[in-house]
Structure 1
Amino acid sequence: MAIGGAFVEGPAGYSGRVTSFVVLSCIVAGSGGILFGYDLGISGGVTSMESFLKKFFPDVYHQMHGDKAAAVSNYCRFDSELLTVFTSSLYVAGLVATLFASSVTTRYGRRASILIGGSVFIAGSAFGGAAVNVYMLLVNRILLGIGLGFTNQVLPTCMSVTTCLIIS
C-alpha cells in the first residue's frame, strides 16, 4: 500500500517537491486499480440479481425459479453459454487490447494510451446504460475490456514514472 505525505522541509539530500503535477499523476495512476476492481466486482454482483437475469437472461431466471431449482446447487445454477460469454468477454477483450496497447504506448506515449482507455471506458459505460438486449451488453463488456486492457497496460508505467518524479 502506498503512503504519501508532504515535507515542509525535506530530508538531507532531498531536493524534490510534491507538486500539483505529482499529486495529479498519483491520482491518475491510482484510478487504474480502482477501475480494475470495480469492473471485476460489478459483473459478479449483477449476474446474481433477479431483475437483471429476468430482463437479459430469462432462461437462467426460469432455471432458478423452476420446479428443479431446489435440486440445483448454486455452483451449477447459471448454466448458460450466453451468460458465460457475457462474463468472459471483458477479460478476453482486455487481453487482446493489452497486446495492442503496448504498441500504442510505444508509438504515441502514455498519455495517448490513457486517453484511449478512458474514452473506451466512457463509451462502454454509455452502451451499458442504454442496453436493451443482451447483444448491447456484450458490446458494453467488450468496450469495457478494451478500456481495461489499455489502462492496465499503461498505468504501471505511469506509477513507476510518478515514483521517479517523487524521488528525484
Structure 2
Amino acid sequence: MQVAIGAILQTHLSATGSLSKGLAAVVVVLVCLYVMSFAWSWGPLGWLIPSETFPLETRTAGFAFAVSSNMFFTFFIAQLFLSMLCGMRAFIFFFFAIWIFVMGIFVVFLLPETKGVPIDEMTERVWKTHPVWKKFMSNTPAREYEMST
C-alpha cells in the first residue's frame, strides 16, 4: 500500500499539489487500508514480542527498554514526518515501504519462534539454540550462575 500510494502521488500529483477526485479517494482508501493492516500486524508486535521473548531474569528491564524505545522513536518519527514529506514528497512512502521490508527480513532471520515455549524455559530452548543469538549466550545455566555468585 505504501508503494501504491507513492506511485500514485509520483505519477499523478500535479505541480499545484492536487489529484483528481477519483485518485484522491483511492489514496485515502489505501491509507486507511495501510493503517488497518498495520494495526493488525506490526502495531501490536512492539508490545507482544518483548513480553514473550525476554527471559524472566531480564523481562522487566527488557520490556521497559523496548517500550521506551518504541515511544521515543514514535515521537521522533512524528516530529520529522512533515519535514520529510516536504523534502521527499512522494518518495517518503517508498522510504517507509523499504523499512517495512527491512523489518520483515529482521523478523524472518533474527526473531525466534516462541510458540509453545514456557517463559521460564525461554533462555535454554530459544535463545541458546538460535543460530545467531546463541553466540551471545553463556553456556552456564542461569541457576548455576546465580548460586556461584
Bin for the TM-score computed over the shorter chain: 0.3 to 0.5
Q: TM-score, normalised by structure 2?
A: 0.48
Q: Which has the higher contact order (CA 8 A, sep 6+)?
A: 1
